[in-house]
Chain A
Amino acid sequence: MIREAQHHFDVLVVGGGPAGMAAAARAAEYGIRVGIVDDNFRLGGQIWRGESEDKDKRNTEASKWAERLSTAGVTSLCGLRVVHQPAAGVLLAENLDGFCELTYEKLVLSTGARERFLPFPGWTLPNVMGVGGLQAMVKCGLPIRGKRVIVAGTGPLLLAVAAYLREHGAEIPLISEQASRGNLARFGIELLGWPAKIVQGIQLKRCLAGIPFTANSWPLAAHGEQTLKSVTVSRAGRVETIPCDYLACGFHLVPNIELPLLLGCAVGNGCVQVDDFQRTTAASIFCAGEPTSIGGVELASVEGQIAGLASAGRTAEARALFGERHKARRFAQLLDRTFRLRPELRSLPLPETVVCRCEDVSHSRLREHTSWHSAKLHTRCGMGPCQGRVCGPALQFLFKWKPDSVRPPVFPARVETLAATAGELNCSTAKG
């Protein structure tokens, strides 16, 4: 809902997950004007989806941060996505009904991460979804009781989501993890350095008791006509076909760096580069959480706090959190080593397998090209509405293609919204 066509903030935070909520709360607690904008209809990001408003979960981290935001008087703008920067210090955002301009003195980008999807035959069938994707749908009302769900791909999300789905009545015939048994064993040993994670791990193990888990395993094909019926998996060298209602499949996470790139922030190794105070290379712009490295909720929260404090000019308070961040960053490196993709996954797509889902571009049409740019020009790969957010990370893995440059708008936007930036329209106040 947009009430005014223009909002000005001392600190504006883009992205309302753990990093963004922490940044906004810490900055606003010093009495400055802070706003937080998020594309979703509620704050919490993906990991805390729905939790801050759940009365049974009043004492969670999510509800504590929600409470601090409200006490500190942070303006929450939900259901609003930032699409463009018409001028320095100005962001343009839109919802279903209209658009508005957001202006700021300091900006914190906490745009989170998305799942990495890899193509295999049948991955475009309805009911083949992301791991976090299916969990999000269940959190948003999808009945899952009695459904058979195969959970596949890689990363810690597989176990967490399998436990969540089972708790909500799903049957899980298999968790298929591509990482090797050796990598997972080393991960287990190194986890001993994080007592909180051990407790989480023990709780998780209890929730997962009796669910078949296979390392060195990945999906070969999903089968069905109009919707999913079964999945063929390679299971530590054996091939097996298992009937199911859903396949939840995601290959760990990739940072959402499109908006930071548009705003001129330097990126290295696919992550936004920041200094000790979470400052990016672009003036007055900070970045926190998954865009700087995939490190989970603890790292996101401490980075968010540092960014929020630093953006409010509280460098001493920010500095006090450096030690905590250092420890959390080591966990990010551990995740990266453990869940690195195995080369066998490059041979999953058949020639006719769709790689770019927006434009239905098959693997055989892409492999003739030597760069994503060339593939874009000839096949429209990555030029559909997702703007390469799904196929980009897959192409990077399959063909080692570098990501192409980002152009405005960073999300598809309506003509009225963009026309306003050209000065042809003033500001439209949205309904509702």
Chain B
Amino acid sequence: MLLNQFLLLAAILFSIGVYGVIVRRNGVLVLMSIELILNAVNINLVAFGTANGISGQVFSLFVIAVAAAEVGVGLAIVLLIYRNRRSIDIDELDELKG
């Protein structure tokens, strides 16, 4: 069945995304990893959409739009962090430490 391959691909992409989010220190790369997670979700939506009608593909379009906005906001935050600290190393941002 073709669906399994898609799902497997999506899972791999998702895992790579999670790995990137957790491990990477660079803020931009963390954002990119998040994009990977979102796209893994998109693949899942489109893959289920072939079997269950058009709504899955429509939903993936919404996800792409929201992801674009999110990256916009995220990059703006990264830019501001860089301006303030001259670095975008996420490990150094531990001001919320209890």
Pairing of A with B: no
Binding site for B on A (CB under 8 A): none
Binding site for A on B (CB under 8 A): none
